[in-house]
A = this chain, B = another copy of it.
């Protein structure tokens, strides 16, 4: 009896569960051109309404992953551990945590993405370092992991190509907002890189894709289950994206802040998220007996310069100028600085995270379409964050722009993004672990 896409669509439309053979057929026949784009879209819209069970989600992820090249890292000794964030504003944790954890002897194979919407992307940030190459071959990636224990590259066209084709269809058919489809898309790409363990940073709040905490927890649970069913060690932290992480938003400014943080001089919220995720990575890599010990190890590597040294090794290995760790002047930096002053005294009660992210995109730090170029030199520095006391006239933030007009426009948005009032609020950053 021949299986047909029609029967599979109808089954899902009617709320019935699909088995392994049906999901395999659907993705394989799609990649062979036997199942059409419109049939896949019918399936995706049916999934939007009917959902997928945990098992179905895992099967979908596996089949999307298997549509392309899988990295074989078995030649790299040790338990390979990666971290993935669902995306935020000022989220430069990958730049810190990858070399930091690698410096403790845990190999970190990291395949990252570019900025999307109001959020920044790790690849864009790394590429603001002169010479840095994010396009590596699988052999280069593996070789670098063997030599220095850390490598960061962009996804290739040959990894999970079904995801790219499905995502392009979801993007124009209003089928993006489906938890199992989001989870399958992230995990299929991430697990193709060959890691043994994955620590997830699922962001929630105003600047995150999952603004509601419940949605973030659902997504985290779904991804953790997928990874575990595929034999991976999985941990997820739910972290706050109510205000930007750290002080810098942009590309070269975030690299600069990361380097300072690797020297132990980073803003407290950035350090907190980095240590929390890093400790989970050390535990997953079996390098520590408990979270307190793991954190102590990480803090030691920041103090003794080993984390920074690992970062420098990685930059050099990937063609970048390693001297950037000592001379931030090597990074591009926009010439037009626009300071933003506090209109009144009080506490910073809120910084609209989404608005800051959009202002950064408008400056040129992010993309409006997948093809648009970015300007690595522009950005925003937040001198004061939520909970801090400010005086009228004090500089709250500085915009680094390519020209005065863009700088002034961003400055207005940033000023309006700040709420100053009488209450001293505190934002809890690490919200949950699963």
Contact = CB atoms under 8 A, between A and B. Distances in A.
Interface in A26-51: 36-42, 44-46, 48-49
Interface string A1-26: 00001100110010000000000000
Interface stretch (A84-92, A167-175, A294-302, A368-376): A167-175
A36 B39 CA distance: 13
Q: Which bracket fits the contact residues of A? A: 20 to 34
B172 A6 contact: yes
Nearest to A169: B38
A174 B10 contact: yes
Contact of A5 (B13, B37, B172): B172
| A interface majority secondary structure | helix
**Tally of this chain's copies:** 2
B48 A173 contact: no
Contacts of A173: 6, 9, 38-39, 41-42
A174 B26 CA distance: 15
Given A13-B48, A48-B13, A49-B49, A42 B6 contact: no
A173 B39 CA distance: 6
Given A37-B37, A38-B37, A13 B45 contact: yes
A419 to B, nearest CB: 30
A5 B42 CA distance: 16
A173 B44 CA distance: 11
A42 B49 CA distance: 12
Nearest to A47: B45
B42 A9 contact: no
A13 B49 CA distance: 9
Contacts of A5: 172
Interface string A41-74: 1101110110000000000000000000000000
Interface in A200-219: none
A171 to B, nearest CB: 8
Residue among A9, A40, A42, A48 having the largest count of chain B Cβ atoms under 10 Å: A42
Interface in A240-272: none
A425 to B, nearest CB: 33
A314 to B, nearest CB: 40
Interface string A361-372: 000000000000
B9 A174 contact: yes
Contacts of A38: 36-38, 40-41, 169, 172-173
Contacts of A10: 174
A175 B42 CA distance: 8
Contacts of A41: 38-39, 41-42, 45, 173
Contact of A45 (B6, B46, B169, B172): B46
Nearest to A14: B174
13 contacts: A5-B172, A6-B173, A9-B174, A36-B38, A38-B38, A38-B40, A38-B41, A38-B169, A38-B173, A41-B173, A42-B42, A42-B45, A46-B174
Interface of A: 5-6, 9-10, 13, 36-42, 44-46, 48-49, 169, 172-175
Given A36-B38, A38-B173, A45-B45, 14 more contacts: A6-B172, A13-B48, A13-B174, A36-B172, A39-B41, A39-B172, A41-B42, A41-B45, A42-B42, A42-B44, A42-B45, A42-B173, A45-B49, A49-B49
